[in-house]
Each structure stands twice: as structure tokens, then as C-alpha cells.
Structure 1
Amino acid sequence: MTQQQQQTRVIPLTCSGHTRPVVDLQFSTMTSENKYYLISACKDGNPMLREGQTGDWIGTFLGHKGAVWSARLSKEAHRAVTGSADFTAKVWDTFTGQELHSFAHQHIVRAVNFSPDGTKIATGGQEKKLRIFDLYRPDAEPIGIDDHSGTIKTVVWHPNQNIIMSGGEDGIIRVRDLRVMRETTNVQAGGAVSSMTLSNDGGLLCWTADNKACFWSLEYGLAPSEDTIMMHTMPRRVSSIALHKSGDKFVVGSDSDPWVRIYDALSAKELEVHKGHHGSIHAVSYSPDGEVYATGSEDGTIRLWQSDPTKSYGLWQKVKEAE
């Protein structure tokens, strides 16, 4: 952080509406209309969609009967998928808010995600089973892969349509090739995996495990080694991670800390620390243009922060003009 940034007061935008802890967040990619969106999952059972730049509420997806643990948007943000404690994963039309599909499970669904082309979803949770549902054949029996020994907390689809990765309480990130329906490699995550995401360009897999923030370079293939995996031991447990589009820094949240912290990606040196929440931080996400990051907290709020508070951007431009 430059001296000018240090002297600039960081003013987060607070997005209210949820009534219980916010446990998952995701910014969409930049759509063809040059916009992006933010979806949130909350224990109140009401996932919400917002404008990415401003945090303005667009709508709430109504239909779950329990806490929603995971929420993701398709590439063009025209569909949303949510996973819930009501033993279902639901797919929604983001323009109308209509529920399109509801997929029953045998236990709590903790992780959901779309395939890169938006034709499939993957789910995982307390069944300890990864399931793949085909949205073109929603009534067909899903593919089930039963190889985790603990709750699955996170599922990531590689830009290669056929590769999927999952992690959770057993501390192993499993990589599977859906063409042959088997695990092709795995990574010892350094502890129970609490979050996992891809960098904007798809070249890095980022995850948190206990007190570790980790990065796996996928640029040269899916063969993990000491040369391709970097693990930072952090001063406290970390619950979530997001990498800035530049690759130079990352933001983490902690279940034991209400402070937002930014670190240098190579050295893990703390660059910024900000107070705004009144409870631990469960979820973080960077916008696709890198200008904003979002944090979701135990206090039931989402806060949007500028990556560079010296800039005029979105609603912050109006704040600066008012000052």
C-alpha cells in the first residue's frame, strides 16, 4: 500500500438485508454487457443477488427451508445455484427469480458450482459424496463419486470442462477427470479445507486450510509438486481467500477475527488491515476487474471495499464528492 493509500480513509459500503451470518460470496465474471454481479449465501435461507459495483439489491431467491451454505453464478450470471441445509441444491433464473430445478440430497449440501459452460452443476456436502447433475437432463440420475472421508466444503470446476476439484474436512483436495470418472491426482491441503477458488485467469487454485493460505499453479498441468504449490502459514486461522486479478495480493477472512486483511501473494507480508465488521469474516471475493472486494460476516452484513481507495469508483465517487 502506498503512502497516499495509507492516508486515505477506507470507507466500506454496507449491504444490509440478511438476518443471519453470511457464509458464502461470489462475484460473477464480467458479462458481455460489461457488468458483474454478487451473490450471497446466508444462514437465513434467503440467498441474494446484487449489482457488483454498488452492492444494490436486485432480488432474493425464495424457496429454501434451511440455511443456505453455498451460492454460485453461471458465467453470464443468467443462472444461480444454491446449496442448503434443507438437503437440496436449487438452480434459479436470475432475471425472474424463478426456481428452475431442485435436486434432492440425503444430507446438508455445503458446496455447489457450475461447469464452465453452465450445462452442469456439481454439489457436495455432509453426504461426503460429489454429485454431477446435467441441467439438460434434470430428471436423470446424477453421477455420484464417493471418495471423500469427510464433509465436502468446496467444489471448483477447472476451465477444462472435464476436470473438477473438491476439498473438505478430510484435508485432501481431490482432482478428477470426468471423462474416465476417476481421481487423477490429489493434494494434501495442510488441514481441513474451508474454501477454494480459482484465480481470474484460471491458472491458480487458491485454498484455505486451518491457518494456511495456499496457491497451486495449474499452468503446467495437474501434477502437484514443491515447484507448483506455495503454502503460507498465517498468524491465525483463515476461513476464506480471494486473489486479486493482478496476482500480486490476496484477501483473507478469519472465523476468529473481524478484521479484513490483505497480504502480498509471494511473501505473505500484511499490506492492509481494515475494521468494519462486528463479527468474524466467513467469506471474501474479488470483483473481476479487481477494483472491489466483498466480505461476508457473522454480523449478517456484506461489505464492499475498494482495492485502491484513492480512485473514484462506483458509489465511492459520490462519497468523495460529498466530502
Structure 2
Amino acid sequence: MISQFKAVPLVAPGHTRPVTHLSFSSIAPDGTYLLVSSCKDGNPMLREWTGDWIGTFLGHKGAVWSTKLSSDTSRAVSGSADFTAKVWDTYSGQPLHSFPHNHIVRTVAISPNSNHIITGGQEKKVRIFDLQKPDAQPSLLCDNGSTSHDGTVKSVVWFGDYTVATASEDCHLKWWDVRTSKSIRSLTFPNPITSMELSSQTGRLVVTSGKTVAFIHAIPDSTPAHSLTLLYQPSSATVHPILQDRFVTGSLEDQWVRIHGMDGEEREILKGHHGPVHCVEFSPDGEVYASGSGTIRLWQTTPGKTYGLWQGVQ
């Protein structure tokens, strides 16, 4: 059934350059959650579930490509073009640790127990840092040689106690056991991987590569990936965490946000951005999804529903 309400997004201003990455926290006991954004202006921002600004993490000297929150939202980790990854206290906004790299850090993640962070980027290396021993040398995930991939590492995610997934421009998606620092499985795509996100509620990795969107079980098994070929190249994709009946994409080819059914059928095109859409992400309750371009826009999954800052909608 098509909603009688027009999709009108909330605009979350504040960034001065393109937004490169968006990440929601898990749902807190009171039903709320947080949103953290990365931007080429070098200033990641933290927002309430309504989109209201909480604060800005100040300290990077280059574009920030990725920012993630810990499971309890007390910490954030960011990766930047200034060759560092930083860990932040989300209550005070102060940096707790800064980890130097030899090249641009494109992606970061925090372990479920919040004791470690993982980084990847243009060094083609995936490193694990121990936050309880921040001055210790990091461990390197690799099978042979000194690199983890043969191309820039675009995304890293950590799930379960010991499993990490990494995606690279070398067309490979790899799973790693952090206890051995060795890969345990690999998938090859026909084109460089442009994005990968973990949909923790559905237990799937959502991967974009060329014109392909793939939905893959996060825990490696024999289940084949559900892959779709679109008519355009998505920059990012996100699946509805509850209904699992639709996914949303952005693209660098235009300024639109698209909604697709899980069969690939295009259901709706949403216009509002004034530049390429670099990233999209569903909230953990599935009620809204965020898109990042020159600004952040929050869209209702069911337009017209009373929710968040849409409380006045009748």
C-alpha cells in the first residue's frame, strides 16, 4: 500500500563538506539510539535519535572517513586522512587515544566488548589495537606477507567474539579469526567493493560492488549470497532491520535516494539532496533511514507516522 503522505526528510545541518559515512548505535533500554556521522570537514558529529545535534569531536586534521560507536555508546572511534584513528569519550567529547598510521585510515570498528578497535585503509593493512594497552604494538591480520589485502581496505566490521570481516578494492571480502590473525574464508566480487555494512539485526553483511548489491550471512556458512544487479552503481546500501523486505541505496551518479524491494524492483526515488549521496543507513528500529551528501537527511520509513521530530504530523 502506497502511503498518502509525501516523504519529507528532516535535514540535520552542521557539516561543511560531503558526509562520507553514517552509523547508528544499537537501541538503548529507553528505546532511543544515537547517530554518528563522518565528514570530509574532519569533524565527526554525534546526534540524538531525533537528529538533534549533541556534539562534535574536534581534533582530526584531515577528512574523516569512518566513525563507529561502542555497544554502550560511551566510546567512539574515527579514522581519518590525517593518518590517525582516534578513540573518543562520547560524554565529554575528549579524545582518549590516538593511533598513528602510515597512510589514510578509511574504516574503523570497535569490538563488541569495547576492548579493541580495528582499522583499515590505504596501507592495505588491517590492524587490531588493544585499548587496555594503547601503547602496545597492534596485531596485523594477514595470511602471508605484510598486507591484509591487495587494495585499499574500504570497510571493516567486528561481530561475535572473534570474527572480523574486511572488504577491499581488490574485490575480496574476507573473514578473519582474530585469535590467529588468519583469514578463514574469502569471497571474490567481479568489481572493487565500494561499501560493506553489518546489519546486526538481520545477521547479514550488505555489500556494494559495481552495480551489485549482495546480502551475505555474516557468520560464514554454506548459504549462498542473495545478490542483485541494479541499473546504476550504488555507493552504499542498507536493509530494513526488522521487515527485511526492502533496502535503500545512495549513488555518486546522481542526487537521489532509492528504495528497492528485495527482488530489486525500484519502489521509490526520493529527491532532496543537492549532491552525490555517499552513504545510507537504517536506524536500528527501522523507523527511519539516514542519507549523507552535503547534509544529513533523515527519512521516515512510513511517511506521516508520529515519530521523533515528526511528533506534530497528523
Which range, TM-score by smaller chain?
Answer: over 0.9
Partner Cα separation in structure 2 for residue 96 and residue 188 of structure 1: 42
Partner of 2:299: 305
Partner Cα separation in structure 2 for residue 30 and residue 201 of structure 1: 11
Partner Cα separation in structure 2 for residue 200 and residue 175 of structure 1: 16
The AA in structure 2 aligned to 1:313 is Y
CA distances 1:11-64 after superposition (whole Å, capped 9, x unpaired)? 100011100000000111102332200000000000000012x21000000000
Give every structure 1 segment of 4 or more consecutive aligned residues whose post-TM-superposition deviation is greater than 3 Å.
none
Partner of 1:103: 99
Structure 1 segment 1-323 matched on structure 2, within 5 A: 2-3=1-2, 5=3, 7-52=4-49, 54-145=50-141, 146-158=147-159, 160-201=160-201, 203-218=203-218, 221-224=219-222, 227-245=223-241, 246-265=243-262, 267-297=263-293, 300-318=294-312, 320=313
Contact 1:32 1:76 in 2 (8 A): no
| Structure 1 unmatched runs, 5+ | none
Contact 2:202 2:244 in 1 (8 A): no
Deviation at 1:310, TM superposition (A): 3.2
CA distances 1:198-239 after superposition (whole Å, capped 9, x unpaired)? 223252111111111101124xx5135xx4212111110111
Partner Cα separation in structure 1 for residue 157 and residue 270 of structure 2: 29
The AA in structure 2 aligned to 1:185 is R
Contact 2:163 2:177 in 1 (8 A): yes
Contact 1:206 1:242 in 2 (8 A): yes
Partner Cα separation in structure 2 for residue 313 and residue 231 of structure 1: 32
Partner Cα separation in structure 2 for residue 202 and residue 314 of structure 1: 24
Partner Cα separation in structure 2 for residue 105 and residue 217 of structure 1: 31
Contact 2:140 2:181 in 1 (8 A): no
Normalised by the length of structure 2, the TM-score is 0.95
Partner Cα separation in structure 2 for residue 34 and residue 223 of structure 1: 32
Mean Cα deviation higher: 59-68 or 197-206: 197-206
The AA in structure 2 aligned to 1:62 is L
Number of residues paired by the alignment? 308
State the SS of the aligned residue for 1:257.
coil
Partner Cα separation in structure 1 for residue 181 and residue 64 of structure 2: 29
| Structure 2 unmatched runs, 5+ | 142-146
Mean Cα deviation higher: 71-80 or 41-50: 71-80
The AA in structure 1 aligned to 2:302 is D
Partner Cα separation in structure 2 for residue 180 and residue 108 of structure 1: 26
Partner Cα separation in structure 1 for residue 82 and residue 199 of structure 2: 31
Partner Cα separation in structure 1 for residue 202 and residue 304 of structure 2: 29
CA distances 1:140-177 after superposition (whole Å, capped 9, x unpaired)? 1000122200000100112x211101012101001111
State the SS of the aligned residue for 1:141.
coil
Partner Cα separation in structure 2 for residue 32 and residue 313 of structure 1: 17
Deviation at 1:119, TM superposition (A): 1.1
Q: CA RMSD in A?
A: 1.2
Contact 1:49 1:60 in 2 (8 A): yes
Deviation at 1:273, TM superposition (A): 1.2
State the SS of the aligned residue for 1:315.
helix
Contact 1:252 1:262 in 2 (8 A): yes
Normalised by the length of structure 1, the TM-score is 0.93
